[in-house]
């Protein structure tokens, strides 16, 4: 029991550094891409790995913290990232016993479903935003492409998590 907890505590600094790098890439590069469909949320797939590796309490704390950081950086839709990260953590903890969590196809599918939910909420926000004069069909198409890209990036984002886990055990 102590060895597992010790390995978990060694994983926290690595995950903090990795989350910070993903957040920097998100804030300084991804958010400035010209096509909205490519502006993905890199931390949403990471929440899948966090929920698998950590206890529900610690993963929820992680989701609240990084969701708050991302909401602060986005500046518009407060609670969007916190809500989607917490929902992803809760869904993973509910479904963890029902499917093989280390299968990349299931990981991609699960993150794809969470990304579709996130895109749906974002689409509703953009639909009712007073300053938004976007064509509705192109907005929904961009959000669907965004979900697909997030789903395809899932194995690449989760690979360092699984690798760090393997080096600590």
pLDDT at 168 over 70: no
Structure confidence at residue 79 (pLDDT): 80
For residue 100, CA distances in Å to 52, 85, 108, 129 come to 11, 21, 12, 40
Structure confidence at residue 6 (pLDDT): 56
Burial of 119 (0-12, 13-18, 19+ CB in 10 A): buried
pLDDT in tens, 43-94: 999 999 889 888 899 999 999 999 999 888 877 767 888 989 999 999 888 8
Q: 48 or 97: whose pLDDT is higher?
A: 48
Q: CA 9: distance to chain centroid?
A: 22
Mean pLDDT of 35-50: 87
pLDDT at 11 over 80: no
In this prediction the pTM is 0.81
CB atoms within 10 A of CB 112: 17
pLDDT at 147 over 70: yes
Dig out the tokens for 42 from the structure.
Answer: 């890199």
Annotated domain spans of the chain: 2-168
Give CATH for domain 2-168. 1.10.1760
- Mean pLDDT score of the chain, rounded to an integer? 82
Show the DSSP H helices in 35-135 as ranges: 43-53, 56-74, 80-95, 104-128
Structure confidence at residue 3 (pLDDT): 42
Determine the Cα–Cα distance for residues 168 and 113; give it in Å rounded to an integer: 30
Determine the Cα–Cα distance for residues 14 and 72; give it in Å rounded to an integer: 23
DSSP for 74-97, written as a single string? H-SSTTHHHHHHHHHHHHHHHHTT
Structure confidence at residue 5 (pLDDT): 57
């Amino acid at each position: 029991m102590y060895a597992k907890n010790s390995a978990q505590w060694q994983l926290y600094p690595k995950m903090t550094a990795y989350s910070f790098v993903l957040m920097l890439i998100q804030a300084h590069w991804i958010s400035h891409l010209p096509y909205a469909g490519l502006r993905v949320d890199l931390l949403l797939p990471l929440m899948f790995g966090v929920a698998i590796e950590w206890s529900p309490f610690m993963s929820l704390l992680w989701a609240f913290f990084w969701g708050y950081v991302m909401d602060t950086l986005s500046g518009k839709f407060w609670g969007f990232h916190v809500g989607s990260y917490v929902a992803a953590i809760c869904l993973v903890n509910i479904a963890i016993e029902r499917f093989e969590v280390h299968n990349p196809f299931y990981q991609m599918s699960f993150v794809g479903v969470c990304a579709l939910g996130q895109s749906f909420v974002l689409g509703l926000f953009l639909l009712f935003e007073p300053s938004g004069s976007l064509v509705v069909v192109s907005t929904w198409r961009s959000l669907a492409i965004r979900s697909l890209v997030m789903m395809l990036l899932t194995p690449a984002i989760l690979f360092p998590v699984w690798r760090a886990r393997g080096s600590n055990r």
